[in-house]
Amino acid sequence: MNLRRVIYSILLLLTLSSAIVFNSCSDDSVTGPIVTPAIPEPDMTTYFKVDSGYVTGANCFLQLYADDSLRTGYNPFYFVLHDSITGELITDAHITILPINHGHAAPAENPDEDAPDGIFKGAMVFTQSFTDNPMHWHITFLIHNHQSPGEPEGEVEFSPPVILDNSNFFKSIVMPDSTALYLSNITPNTPVAGMNDFEFLINKNEPELYPPDGTYTIQMNPVFLSDGHTTTGNVAPVGSSNGHYSGKINFDQSGNWRVNLIISKNGHSYNTYFDMSY
């Protein structure tokens, strides 16, 4: 009888201990709601601030940045949006870039709708420089704010301060078949010794659409202007569906370089170049 009581006591203690452990684990798993950490404010101190303003109708405030002063050719744009009431950083929005110059549009690349780091990245090709009267350029930004209740939409217009000439990195050409093209160098913006990523954009000069065209064949030959020598290891740029052409270019010494390009399609070719130096 005593033995039965001892066994019964042991089983009871084991049952109680299991219940206590189970309840303790269950309590630990539901101690409180999961808190999503706030997205830190992006550090834009190294960028060139173009302009800022409230976007009427979209419940947000837009700050527009670039890498440097605006120039003819390809200009990356960086958009930072905040809720105009709460001040909350916006990471989900649809931004449409609508540039106008003397009543005509220009090539533009709209940002992706998601910006996990709070920076929406787009680009625009300025086709004409203005230093004395920049008011010729007007850029309207249409904002569809996905984070605000009702997903409001609105627009704001900025006028760039100046558009500097950058003819070494921007070309307007007409192919032998009368196809007009814009060529905009993207990288290397600041060349270095050795291998450099080489990227440029081709847009058809078809107002007001300016569609990108990645269907051309490119031959490339970099030449050092002081003595005419070239380099080895270069990779001719290849086009993609967004009109961007990517390759590799080798600079073996500092000085002035001319990157000769032959643009070809359907039996028609055009010779042009970008000048670079470091």
Contact at 8 Å (CB) between 180 and 172? yes
Do the domain assignments include residue 65? Answer: yes
Largest Cα–Cα separation, the chain = 110
Two tokens, residue 135? 């008011």
Contact at 8 Å (CB) between 157 and 138? yes
Whether 143 and 182 map to the same domain: the answer is no
Whether 203 and 255 map to the same domain: the answer is yes
Whether 185 and 267 map to the same domain: the answer is yes
Do the domain assignments include residue 12? Answer: no
Residues near 20 by beta carbon (within 8 Å), at least 6 away in sequence? none
pLDDT in tens, the chain (278 residues): 444 444 444 444 444 444 443 344 344 444 444 444 568 999 999 999 999 999 999 999 999 999 999 999 999 999 999 999 999 999 999 999 999 998 889 999 999 999 999 999 999 999 999 887 656 899 999 999 999 999 999 999 998 888 999 999 999 999 999 999 999 999 998 999 999 999 999 999 998 889 999 999 999 999 999 999 999 999 999 999 999 999 999 999 999 999 999 999 999 999 999 999 99
For the domain that residue 192 is a member of, what is the CATH number? 2.60.40.10
Produce one character per residue of 11-25: b if its CB has 16 or more CB atoms within 10 Å, e if not. Answer: eeeeeeeeeeeeeee
How far is it, in rounded angstroms, from Cα 271 to Cα 122? 29
Whether 182 and 103 map to the same domain: the answer is no
The whole domain housing 152 covers 48-158
SS3 26: helix
Instruction: Write the CA distances from 55 to 108, 152, 154, 157, integer angstroms.
Output: 20, 10, 6, 9
Pairing of strands 120-126, 89-90: unpaired
- Confidence at residue 20, expressed as pLDDT on a 0 to 100 scale: 40
Residues near 87 by beta carbon (within 8 Å), at least 6 away in sequence? none
Q: Any long-range contacts for 42-45 (C-beta under 8 Å, 24+ apart)?
A: 42/80, 42/89, 42/117, 42/118, 42/119, 44/78, 44/80, 44/119
Q: Is 59 left (phi over 0), alpha (psi -120 to 50) or beta?
A: left
- Confidence at residue 80, expressed as pLDDT on a 0 to 100 scale: 98
Do the domain assignments include residue 172? Answer: yes
Domain count, the chain: 2
Do the domain assignments include residue 130? Answer: yes
How far is it, in rounded angstroms, from Cα 90 to Cα 119? 9
Whether 175 and 132 map to the same domain: the answer is no
Two tokens, residue 95? 């931004």
Domain endpoint, select from 158, 187, 210: 158
Whether 140 and 211 map to the same domain: the answer is no
How far is it, in rounded angstroms, from Cα 57 to Cα 74? 30
What pTM was computed for the model? 0.84
Domain endpoint, select from 158, 177, 203: 158
**Which residues partner with 145 through β-bridges?**
93
Q: Where are the alpha helices (DSSP H) in 30-178?
A: none
**Which candidate, 252, 57, 254, places its Cα nearest to that of 142?**
57
How far is it, in rounded angstroms, from Cα 182 to Cα 172? 5
